Chains A and B, each alone.
Chain A
Amino acid sequence: MKELSSAIQLIPLENYIFLSVALFSIGMMGVLFRRNTIAILMCLELMFNSVNLLLTAFSAYHSDPAGQVFVFFIMIVAAAEVAVGLSIVVMMKRNVDSIDINLLNRLKW
């Protein structure tokens, strides 16, 4: 435990920032790229998790537990969001018999 926590200090914080930025960009690219609604929800999870990782890294480097509590709250909100989002997907499959996001374009214009 002790040597692990001293080894954290060897990794610069910039590495975590770059990793989070890369993951967030990949998630955003996926949201724009896919038409499958479930895949879009999965890419949203990816973006959530990149933000979680960045918050945890800042919290660990500043020795402030509030950041990790915030990550816990973000996980709570993500669980609620997935429950509602997947029930919307089920309803969409039942009503229009497809999960293509482009069929739901009435609110677009």
Chain B
Amino acid sequence: MIFLFYLLSTIMIVCALLVVFSKNPINNVIYLIMCFIAMAGHYILLNAQFLAVVHIIVYTGAIMVLFLFVIMLLNLNKAIIIRKSTVTRVSAVVTGGIFFLVLLAATRQTFEIDAKYPFNSEIGLVSGIGKTLFSEFLLPFEISSILFISAMVGAMMFGKKDA
């Protein structure tokens, strides 16, 4: 099982690096989809089956297709050679590396996490999530529909010809 964890993690890290460093936007989207599918595997490994299914549907099914639509609609599917200057790119890599080291050092010994409660394998299933969502989090769930309507109106406003 720990082998599965390392396999999925390696796929995720490699695909994430390829998203950053590959030139072609279509290839970026494909690598990001591979990264997200590996992440769905992680969710299944954590016994969060509802989230795994929703992640596949929402991210690889909706959001990434939206990205692909925009890339093809704007005819960007050739490798565009717009790059930052070498100094900026090197400093970006150095900043990311230093950020990683700082977070790693900060979290390496801070967390003393034992499972406080007895392990419950039911919480990630649809019934467990649904019970929590519709009892404790009912009001935020309803409010999120307002967020969606406002996002839809905003996207239409931006998309209009004479906006």
Contacts and interface: CB of A to CB of B under 8 A. Distances in A.
A13 B159 contact: no
Contact of B100 (A22, A34, A68): A22
Contacts of B62: 79
A73 B35 CA distance: 21
A36 B82 contact: yes
Interface of B: 1-2, 5, 9, 12-13, 16-17, 19-20, 25, 28-29, 32, 35-36, 39, 42-43, 45-48, 50-51, 54-55, 58-59, 62-63, 66-67, 70-71, 73-74, 76, 80, 82-84, 88-89, 91-93, 95-97, 99-100, 103-104, 107-108, 111, 113, 115-121, 123-124, 128-129, 131-133, 136-137, 140-141, 144, 147-148, 150-152, 154-156, 158-159, 163
Which of B29, B67, B118, B140 is most buried by chain A, counting CB atoms within 10 A of its CB?
Answer: B67
Interface residues of A, number: 76
Contacts of A49: 35-36, 39, 59
Interface in A17-58: 17-19, 21-30, 32-36, 38-39, 41-43, 45-46, 49, 52-53, 56-57
